[in-house]
Structure 1
Amino acid sequence: MTKTILKYSGALLLTVSLAISGCKKLDDMNRDPTKPSTTEPQYLLTGAQKSAMDVLYSGLQNGFIAMHYAQYWSGNARVVDSQYQLDEGNNGTFWNNLYRISLHDLDALINMNKPKLSEPGVANQTAIAHIMRAWIFQILADTYGNIPYSQAFQNTTNIAPAYDDAKTVYNSLIDILQAQIKVLDATQTSFNTGDIIYKGDVESWKRLGHSLLLRLAIRMADADPQKAKTIIEANYQQAISSNDQSALFQYLADVPNRYPQNDVDRPIIDFAVSTTLLDYMNSLNDPRLPIYARPTADGNVFRGLPYGWATSDPDHKGDTYYSAPGKKVYSATMPGILMSYAEVEFILAEAAARGMTVGDAATHYANGIKASMTWWRDVTSSASTITDAAIDAYIAKVPYVAADWRNVIGTQKWLALYPQGFQAWFERTRLKFKKPGGAPLFMAPKSGVLDNSVKDGVPYRLTYPITEQSQNTANYNSAATAIGGDFKGTKLWYNKF
């Protein structure tokens, strides 16, 4: 994990076309955000990074949507989200913030740099923006399916962009990442300021590019196994290979740079840790449990809330009866995780299990568990409980089993992805894993599903924002037809298992 912390401000929404955001060091903030004329690449990068992380880790998007769909948490006061009734305001904000702020900033950065690509460091800046862009577009494609892509930023000539097929988007993102990795030149500068994730380190961005290629490839492993194999085998040796290389956005203790979902100023009572997560971790004596969850205020024990259980049920207790999420994941300085070393190791474990030439599956699997536990040990100062001996004992308790790789790798990757609700949800629907041995891990909402399109116990996607139906009607209708209907139960192109 990177140790250097830059001071930065929240993204400023600049009224140029849709939106352009910029950020400066706190002691430099002197600009009137209502009267912008120009900005600079480093401010656009900071704005894109912060706005994307803010929405990915907001309680409204990560909390009410993704952490529910990953079944890490269950709704406490408001249960309908756990029953798959989507809050359209939260959904629209997710779509709009990623398109109109994060991606728009990156598009502006790329266009701003086009006339000066021959200047020192500018090509590196542009390549970094393209890598960030690929990361965000994959999230959108994994969340919705077909999305506006090739026409997304033709806003001066086309305010109603067509939707591209999600598989086509994937293939384009792969091509872009491969090309931009080659552009990156470590002998040149990039961003002297403004890059919160890697502080302008070109080699780190190259590693992230290789790692994102692994993420794209493993998602399509059931739909296009040969292409997945080719990409993974070509990139795994250059990917993230230690916790210190993970891509993290470090939040700060002060407003407005705190982790989006923090309880510094008020308690958060909206969510409880689900029995799905808590009971499974408890059964394994997982040393991360006191980090992922808090003891109950009523009884000082770890007690999960059955998933999707309506508060109107007379047996449902008050919020103090169930374990709230852990203090670190509600802290002001919790980092936003873009991609971790643990995820890379679990990708390689799965790749090896599928017969790809990337090393030994059992070794990568054990490395993934160790990477997750040692990262949490470092970030929470839990050395006294997450000892090396405790990690080794845990791995012995959950051994790699080749014949059951989907369940074995799936469960441990799911545990390691906490609190990355979106990535964990994507993996849940892709792998459809159970507990090792085949017993069910996830449960259907206890009080029933509120969306009849959800047939497999979990949504495969979010429906398109309602604004698309009214403002981009023809393209919306075409996209809905192309994917098989704009329903949460519609499978994505790679959901073949």
Structure 2
Amino acid sequence: MKRNIYQLIPLIILLAITMAGCKKGFVDLNTDPNGTPNALPQQLLAPALVNTVSINMLRARNFNNELMQVTVDPGDSEGKVFRYDVKRTWADYTWNGWYTQLTNFKDIYNIASQPLTYNKTYMGISLICQSWIYSMLTDTYGDVPYFDSNKGKDGNFTPVFDKQKDIYLDIFKKLEQADTLLNGAANVNGGSDPIYNGNASKWRKFGNTLYLRLLLRVSGKAEASANVIAKIKDIVDTNPTLYPLMASNDDAAVLRWNGVGALTSPFIGGVREQDWRQPSIAEFFINNLNRWADPRLTANRWSIATYQGGYVGAPSGYAPGEGVDHKSYFLSTTSTTTLMNDPLMGNIMNYSELQFILAEAAAKGWIAGSAEAYYKAGVQSGITFWIPTFATPIDTYLATGDIAWNEAGSLDDKMEQIHLQKYYSMFWTDFEQWFEYRRTGHPVLPKGNGLRNNGIMPARLTYPVYVQSANPTNYTAAVAAQGADEINTNVWWQKP
């Protein structure tokens, strides 16, 4: 795939990224885009999606899951993420990988917009995917190159870093444009699209659902809140036919790993089985499921090993020297379906997350409808996403777990209820648990004695070290505008 990313990176890095990221094996899509000036959108889309989701899954495993108390990688050595001990080298992988794939998604748009290859559907899909990746970039690092990014072939290797506010405003424009392009658009080659099999209508629903996710993310900013809240209401209440949303789990944006060719989970071959079993499941993650008698805990789908006859988690954030046993963990046996090869692990955004977005908006009085009804729908669809046969009445399940909706509770109580359940709906979904915790402070996580960074959840990743030397002027300007290039500098939407 084309390698002209937004700035000059040493050739060895470019080669490593490209060789590691390229996957082959797509039927009828075996033309190498690197070797031809005539690559078509149907040749670029599937590899770009596979590579992006693979990046997200690998980093969710060893970064997000450790920060957000899904797992605990036990040990007393330095650089343990579950202690908020985040090294600067963590920054490179997602930065390099996401910007590389943005080149491919932008090429899809540029090619599909040409007269001889004009295709509204691929243009709309490209804009949605660009919005998705740029949102992850800015939510991870803060101010990043946006308007001038990925212009290496035009000779721009030192792009300006744009303010997060300006990035979000333009992302919203992209998603509006995508909705317009996909309105009534024709389906495209199913073999080019491992998420929706070329279904333009489902891509449109995903784009608008992503729009709500990102509107909600910046809704706490005073200078943006009025317009954002009005837009949320417009999408949900005023003009729902103009902004169709996901209607069920069938509309979830999931790159399903079927084990054939390139559609093989990055954990297969990318993570050794003994390494997969190394992290213990965290107490916070597993204790809630125990308390709720949650079927996801005992179902084979999540393949959790028992410990001394039960499901037992390890405490997160413990201090070096305290000594913690390796307890329950995710099984790695690949003769059956485990999380190492489960098709649903390629989750980008699902229907359950949408319901919790709507529950929060309703609880805050921004939209019509019952926050309780949205909450119940979110819990139920979050379970049936993994266990379609789940038939327990949702009220029974909620009562058993003592998590029935409390209408009399404060808004903070309701936010905790919503976001505790949302935490599980975003299980292994890039960095979404971390992003939402930074936005809301929910769910409340226990804090161990060994936390670094003054016990404060990291607010961002630092910029890759090589950016300081490759783009020093714009790096310096970005730090001056945003704040110190440290993990505890809040991004724009986190600041009061």
TM-score tier, shorter chain, comes to 0.7 to 0.9
Instruction: Give the one of 129, 143, 146 matched to 2:126.
Output: 129
- Matched to 2:50, the amino acid is K
After TM superposition, give the deviation of residue 89 of structure 1 in Å.
4.4
After TM superposition, give the deviation of residue 157 of structure 1 in Å.
2.4
Task: Determine the C-alpha separation between the residues in 2 that align with 1:157 and 1:355.
Answer: 49
The TM-score, its normalising length taken from structure 2, stands at: 0.85
Task: Determine the C-alpha separation between the residues in 2 that align with 1:123 and 1:30.
Answer: 23
After TM superposition, give the deviation of residue 325 of structure 1 in Å.
6.4
1:476 to 1:284, Cα distance in 2 relative to 1, 3 A: same
Is 1:388 aligned with 2:396?
Answer: no
1:450-490: CA deviations, max 9, x gaps?
xxxx3453111111111211211111121122112111111
Task: Determine the C-alpha separation between the residues in 2 that align with 1:118 and 1:358.
Answer: 43
Task: Determine the C-alpha separation between the residues in 1 that align with 2:22 and 2:111.
Answer: 14
- Matched to 2:404, the amino acid is P
Maintained 8 Å contact 1:352/1:361:
yes
Task: Determine the C-alpha separation between the residues in 1 that align with 2:5 and 2:215.
Answer: 35
1:327-365: CA deviations, max 9, x gaps?
632225344111100010000000011111241111111
2:293 corresponds in structure 1 to 285
1:177-234: CA deviations, max 9, x gaps?
1122112242534344311111111111111111111011111121132122122112
RMSD across aligned C-alpha pairs, in angstroms? 2.7
1:90 to 1:194, Cα distance in 2 relative to 1, 3 A: farther
Unaligned 5+ segments in structure 1 are: 1-12, 435-440
Instruction: Give the one of 246, 250, 273 matched to 2:252.
Output: 246
Maintained 8 Å contact 2:23/2:262:
no
The TM-score, its normalising length taken from structure 1, stands at: 0.85
Task: Determine the C-alpha separation between the residues in 2 that align with 1:189 and 1:29.
Answer: 17
1:262 to 1:431, Cα distance in 2 relative to 1, 3 A: farther
Q: Secondary structure at the match of 2:446?
A: coil
- Matched to 2:130, the amino acid is R
Task: Determine the C-alpha separation between the residues in 2 that align with 1:222 and 1:328.
Answer: 38
- Matched to 2:370, the amino acid is D
2:330 corresponds in structure 1 to 324
The percent of aligned pairs where both chains have the same amino acid is 25
After TM superposition, give the deviation of residue 26 of structure 1 in Å.
3.9
Maintained 8 Å contact 1:167/1:493:
yes
Q: Secondary structure at the match of 1:82?
A: helix
Q: Secondary structure at the match of 2:254?
A: strand
| Residues 251-400 of structure 1: pairs in structure 2 closer than 5 A | 251-254=257-260, 256-262=262-268, 266-267=273-274, 268-291=276-299, 294-296=303-305, 298-309=307-318, 313=321, 315-317=323-325, 319=326, 321-324=327-330, 328-378=338-388, 383=389, 386-389=390-393, 391-396=394-399, 397-400=402-405
2:478 corresponds in structure 1 to 479
After TM superposition, give the deviation of residue 444 of structure 1 in Å.
2.7
Task: Determine the C-alpha separation between the residues in 2 that align with 1:325 and 1:116.
Answer: 51
After TM superposition, give the deviation of residue 66 of structure 1 in Å.
1.1
After TM superposition, give the deviation of residue 114 of structure 1 in Å.
2.9
Is 1:405 aligned with 2:422?
Answer: no
Task: Determine the C-alpha separation between the residues in 1 that align with 2:454 and 2:331.
Answer: 28
Unaligned 5+ segments in structure 2 are: 7-13
Greater helix percent: which structure? Answer: 2
Task: Determine the C-alpha separation between the residues in 1 that align with 2:22 and 2:312.
Answer: 43
Maintained 8 Å contact 1:247/1:340:
yes
Runs of 4+ in 1 over 6 A off after TM superposition: 17-24
After TM superposition, give the deviation of residue 413 of structure 1 in Å.
0.9
1:395-417: CA deviations, max 9, x gaps?
23312234222111111111221
Maintained 8 Å contact 1:233/1:357:
yes
Is 1:494 aligned with 2:493?
Answer: yes
Q: Secondary structure at the match of 1:330?
A: coil
1:466 to 1:296, Cα distance in 2 relative to 1, 3 A: same
| Residues 174-193 of structure 1: pairs in structure 2 closer than 5 A | 174-193=172-191
1:180 to 1:31, Cα distance in 2 relative to 1, 3 A: closer
Task: Determine the C-alpha separation between the residues in 2 that align with 1:170 and 1:472.
Answer: 23
After TM superposition, give the deviation of residue 296 of structure 1 in Å.
4.2
Task: Determine the C-alpha separation between the residues in 2 that align with 1:33 and 1:44.
Answer: 7
Task: Determine the C-alpha separation between the residues in 1 that align with 2:90 and 2:262.
Answer: 20
Report the count of equivalent residues: 460
1:30 to 1:123, Cα distance in 2 relative to 1, 3 A: closer
1:293 to 1:276, Cα distance in 2 relative to 1, 3 A: farther
2:147 corresponds in structure 1 to 150
Task: Determine the C-alpha separation between the residues in 1 that align with 2:188 and 2:307.
Answer: 52
After TM superposition, give the deviation of residue 286 of structure 1 in Å.
2.3
Maintained 8 Å contact 2:33/2:44:
no
Task: Determine the C-alpha separation between the residues in 2 that align with 1:192 and 1:283.
Answer: 43
Task: Determine the C-alpha separation between the residues in 2 that align with 1:208 and 1:298.
Answer: 39
Maintained 8 Å contact 1:23/1:44:
no
After TM superposition, give the deviation of residue 265 of structure 1 in Å.
6.5
